[in-house]
Structure 1
Amino acid sequence: MTSFRPAPSWLADAVFYQIYPQSFADSNGDGIGDFAGITERLDHLAWLGVNTVWLNPCFVSPFGDAGYDVADYLRLAPRYGSSDDLARLVVEARRRGIRVLLDLVAGHTSDQHPWFRAAVEDPDDDRYIWAPEGHVPDGFVPSPGTRPGAYLPNFFAFQPALNFGYGSARQDEPWRLPVDAPGPRANRAALRTVMDHWLGLGLAGFRVDMAASLVKDDPGKRETAAIWTELRHWLDGAHPEAVLLSEWGEPEVSVPAGFHADFFLQFGGPTDGLALRSLWSNGEGTVNEAWDPLDCFFDAEGRGSPEPFVAAWRAATTALGPSGFIALPTANHDFSRLNCGPRTADQLPAAFVFQLTWPTLPAIYYGDEIGMRFVPGLPEKEGSVLGPRYNRAGSRTPMQWDDGPNAGFSSAPADRLYLPLDPAPDRPTVAAQRADDTSLLRLVRRLIALRTGAAELGPDASVEVVHAGYPFVYVRGGRYLVVVNPCREPMRCAVAPATTVRSLESDGVTIDGGTVSARGFGYGVFELTDARAGSAPQT
């Protein structure tokens, strides 16, 4: 494994919070969230206990893909505000102990980017991948300019792939340039320039979009990994306190390549996202038709198992050692919220107990802390539709702050909002849940405080699985016993008796001698004060 500078010490204690800026808070009444709106709501994040925020792309863009089609990496989209507005957000966040990360779209640009506009008129420009005249290979798009031939997109047709070279050469495809060709070298240098610019303004790092997509036809992602290794060595010297989080979904590959952490995702890796989908995906919301049906563990009928997740986590953790971290999100802008389809609000507390006590870095998607639901049936918005059952708009609706107009998100007329609000009359709000000590929001706050106050609940402490079923029972750091029962039926299992246990956060879980009993959707975090609970046969 390549030797890197150790990760910044703050990362092990990170509690991430993802903000989709269009939908979080609108300060100027235009119906779209902005930097000033986020700044106005930082006290909510500080109160919650969040210490690291990452924002979806904020750069100049035609917004064909909600900002993931970047037209200028060094300028901010006016819809969000000015550079001064972002600088104020960063300063005010740091004043509250919160770091801010941006989203870096590394593998492609918008077709409106000046680089691409130049390339479509210059046959010698190799910043993008071009097949010559007479060739339109599978996946390529005919040139929109005077340049003959076709270009390769990275996702949508309006997102041309930046040329980082090919990992494999073929004589019949002369457009396959090596990774050290002038265009690929220029693109690597451009990544350093972009990163250096924003880190110099006080940002704490980047979440990197489609991080595995750089070098094409790259067996084992060896050449792509080499690029990130090069960038990590540069980062360690130039910005040692900054971090890189990858949208890769295969920590065994991405972290040794140079990322400080990788997310378990709904895609990626040898099991195609099984680690995450086996936990949360209930077959509703953003569903890829190519995914094999599976029963997730957080299923009211109790048809799933934690074992696929645990196996994937163990394999990744063993490969990583102390070199980096795995991040576990509740959801994201591409994937269904926890509160989706048949899953109901009373199932969410157990999910958060698990997420905030398992040895991964927790990443809370905005609104999940109050149980915002995935809203089906919304119109397509800025490239949200990816398939017949895959409309990402349902995970991107406005944050629900209070019971006022537009749920406190914006003063704009309702028909001018970026996306419609959840129309449910009982939609949850921050204000209502802050006033209720029994609410999900209050529970999440207490769990974050418990986690940040106990090293044994962090990502580096041990975990012993006592019972891998319903209920799921494990011990953290030899000190904390955690019980979660995601199904509606009462469940029990046997454990080695602990002399004394003290309940820290529990609802519907009892421990009587060597038996753990959990009512439906019950959960508990207990401190083992005299002896450690261990495994025993299931009863």
Structure 2
Amino acid sequence: MTDPAVPVPGPTPSAWWADAVVYQIYPRSFADGNGDGMGDLRGVTGRLSYLESLGVDAIWLSPFYKSPQADGGYDVADYRQVDPLFGSLEDFDAMLQEAHRRGLKVIVDLVPNHTSDEHAWFQEALAVPPGSPARDRYMFRDGKDEVPGSGDGGRAPNNWKSVFGGPAWSRVQEADGSPGQWYLHLFDTKQPDLNWDNPEVQEEMRSVLRFWLDRGADGFRVDVAHGLVKEAGLPDWDGVAAMVEGTSTPRLESHLPGDAPHAHTDAEEPHRSVSPMYPPSPFFDQDGVHAIYRDWHRVLAEYGGDRMMVAEAWVEPAERLARYVRPDEMQQAFNFDFLLAGWDAERMADAIDASLAAAASVGAPSTWVLSNHDTVRHTTRFGLKDPTTFPKGIGAADEQPDPALGLARARAATLVALALPGSAYLYQGEELGLPEHTTLPDEARQDPTFFRTHGAEIGRDGCRVPLPWTADQPGYGFSGELSGEAREPWLPQPESFGPLAADLQDGEEGSTLELYRAALSLRAAQQLGRGSVEWTDEHAPDSGLLAFRNGGVTVLSNMGFASAPVPEGLAVVLSSGPEPAEEWTGMREVPVDTTVYLMGGR
């Protein structure tokens, strides 16, 4: 039984972001405005009315900067230019102006840990000799065991591994053709890590912040926020910078001294909890990152409008994550413990308790998220035999989910998330109940993790498939509806997307789209984002029941194996199940895999 005494934070900040519902847009897959098969900024502008009617408060756009697109735009070649794939700066300005006109805030992605190898800085670094100021902007090092004057580069400077698979170091060829220095890339070889001890790097990123703030951006999602600072001396580390089970985002698997790094097999139990790292990682969650964010906090404070930052920081435990949202640092951090809990009442309740306690300790609001561009969609994860697992992508040869079961549980989990105090983040298409594309052909894949692991990790393409807007159009209206002409989408869509197209769900009672609209409307009306959690007498997570009160709304989520009674004196006002609305008032039993909102006196 979970302790009913849930930590209650102090007064919720009055800023817009404190309880905002933020909709993540992966630009290349949201909507195509020019008919080339690739989503773009004009496509975003053309669908803002849809987002306004959905009831969200803000949009967050994954990178749209100039980039060779080796990692979906997270390899930035120019932080101040829009990639022609997505349009122009003028298109961005028009999109932002229209979003603001509709009352929507705009958050842009910032990628400060690394650049593209095609960034002008890195190209300059390759053209100059070792020891040059241009090389000091990055993590260039001499190799180990290098014999001076021998012309060989020795071994890599340390034993670190890339998050995307393979070594984290690559060696360059010097201008004279000789084997050269090594550079660090915690991700792909085309993503060299910046040296955050360099004042020039620090000043450049301040300038980038101001560039987008001057254009009117309301905030930043900070990519790999825990990774900018590396331990002095870059010591060897016997841990493994692994993906979260099923994501291509780093989770740290650590090993006791003498233990060998352990590769999990399908037959083993998945990770159920996250324990403190031992030994600590020398490249993630170093204390030095906090000075950077205190500095950025001061930059944002130069501007009005409650500008904000949200950290993508895969940090454990929750108390460490809370350090990123202290009053003089960032405003929010993604709550990945909640995402990792899966469809399990005990795990979810523990994540809620830990998250609220950590946030309360620094006076910050918590955040709630179930899917994003790096994870298998929760609609699919919850349909697996073990709905707490996080596979690293799903291919045709892997276990296939039960789509109906996954959708039912996803809808139910969404009602839990949207009833919690703080801010909620939605990933594009989840409001349609979209599943992962689990049978995407390998020849269509583009995620570097698939290639760097030689297919051992399927990767993230399955959650990045273009959205279906209109069921009876080619590409389900992703391309042609806004532009008048359509090409095949950049990633093929599964047939399962057709019945889930937005036009078929719009106004359709019981559809997932209408469920999201109803939940967001009730959340706003009852100010659930500014409330608090009180576990009720019905709360019994060891039996699969999660039950809490937030203001005038009681939430009962049945993750167990038998129906649960509706508490006396309360009536269902919203259900994640398929029942028509006229049947809610008379409901006295909550079916399994269902969440209900209840109101009334007790």
**Shorter chain as normaliser: what TM range?**
0.7 to 0.9
- Maintained 8 Å contact 2:80/2:211: yes
- Maintained 8 Å contact 1:470/1:491: no
- Maintained 8 Å contact 1:57/1:102: yes
Cα distance 1:400–1:384, how it changes in 2: closer, same or farther (>3 A)? Answer: farther
Give, in angstroms, the shift of residue 502 of structure 1.
3.2
Which structure has more relative contact order (CA 8 Å, sep 6+)? It is: 2
* Residue equivalent to 1:35: 41
Question: Higher mean Cα deviation, 225-234 or 463-472?
Answer: 463-472
Distance in 2, Cα, partners of 1:220 & 1:424: 40
Question: Higher mean Cα deviation, 309-318 or 48-57?
Answer: 309-318
1:10 and 2:81 are equivalent in the alignment: no
* Residue equivalent to 1:461: 532
1:323 and 2:392 are equivalent in the alignment: no
Runs of 4+ in structure 1 over 3 Å off? 237-240, 412-416, 507-512
1:199 and 2:272 are equivalent in the alignment: no
Cα RMSD (Å): 2.6
* Residue equivalent to 1:143: 172
* % identity of equivalent residues: 30
Query: Of the candidates 115, 135, 138, which is equivalent to residue 128 of structure 1?
Result: 138
Cα distance 1:464–1:527, how it changes in 2: closer, same or farther (>3 A)? Answer: same
* Residue equivalent to 1:159: 191
Distance in 1, Cα, partners of 2:298 & 2:214: 17
- Maintained 8 Å contact 1:26/1:32: yes
Distance in 1, Cα, partners of 2:458 & 2:230: 26
Question: 2:378 is aligned with what amino acid?
Answer: L
Gaps of 5+ in 1: 1-5, 166-183, 266-273, 280-296, 298-304, 532-539
1:408 and 2:477 are equivalent in the alignment: yes
Aligned length: 468
* Residue equivalent to 1:168: none
Counterpart secondary structure, 1:112 = coil
Gaps of 5+ in 2: 1-11, 147-153, 160-167, 232-281, 316-320, 381-400
Give, in angstroms, the shift of residue 454 of structure 1.
1.1
Question: 2:322 is aligned with what amino acid?
Answer: E
- Maintained 8 Å contact 2:19/2:421: no
- Maintained 8 Å contact 2:558/2:591: yes
* Residue equivalent to 1:306: 345
Counterpart secondary structure, 1:213 = coil
1:342 and 2:402 are equivalent in the alignment: yes
* Residue equivalent to 2:546: 473
Question: 1:407 is aligned with what amino acid?
Answer: Y
Distance in 1, Cα, partners of 2:547 & 2:429: 28
Give, in angstroms, the shift of residue 406 of structure 1.
1.0
Query: Of the candidates 226, 229, 234, which is equivalent to residue 215 of structure 1?
Result: 229
Counterpart secondary structure, 1:234 = helix
* Residue equivalent to 1:289: none
1:254 and 2:324 are equivalent in the alignment: yes
Question: Higher mean Cα deviation, 55-64 or 143-152?
Answer: 143-152
Counterpart secondary structure, 2:597 = strand
- Maintained 8 Å contact 2:412/2:593: yes
- Maintained 8 Å contact 1:7/1:260: no
1:434 and 2:506 are equivalent in the alignment: yes
Question: 2:138 is aligned with what amino acid?
Answer: Y
Structure-to-structure mapping, 1:1-400, within 5 angstroms: 9-122=15-128, 123=130, 124-125=132-133, 126-132=136-142, 134=146, 135=154, 136-137=156-157, 138=159, 139-146=168-175, 148-165=180-197, 184-217=198-231, 221-239=286-304, 241-250=306-315, 251-256=321-326, 258-265=329-336, 274-279=337-342, 297=343, 305-321=344-360, 323-340=363-380, 341-344=401-404, 345-378=407-440, 379-383=444-448, 385=450, 387=453, 388-400=456-468
Give, in angstroms, the shift of residue 402 of structure 1.
1.1
Q: Deviations over 1:466-508 (max 9, x none)?
A: 2324553323335211112245x43326x9x65x323211357
Distance in 2, Cα, partners of 1:94 & 1:246: 23
Question: 1:480 is aligned with what amino acid?
Answer: V
Counterpart secondary structure, 2:180 = coil
Give, in angstroms, the shift of residue 524 of structure 1.
1.2
- Maintained 8 Å contact 1:66/1:383: no
- Maintained 8 Å contact 2:526/2:552: no
Cα distance 1:511–1:427, how it changes in 2: closer, same or farther (>3 A)? Answer: closer
Cα distance 1:415–1:91, how it changes in 2: closer, same or farther (>3 A)? Answer: closer
- Maintained 8 Å contact 1:39/1:89: yes
Distance in 2, Cα, partners of 1:200 & 1:422: 41
- Maintained 8 Å contact 1:7/1:243: no
- Maintained 8 Å contact 1:414/1:420: no
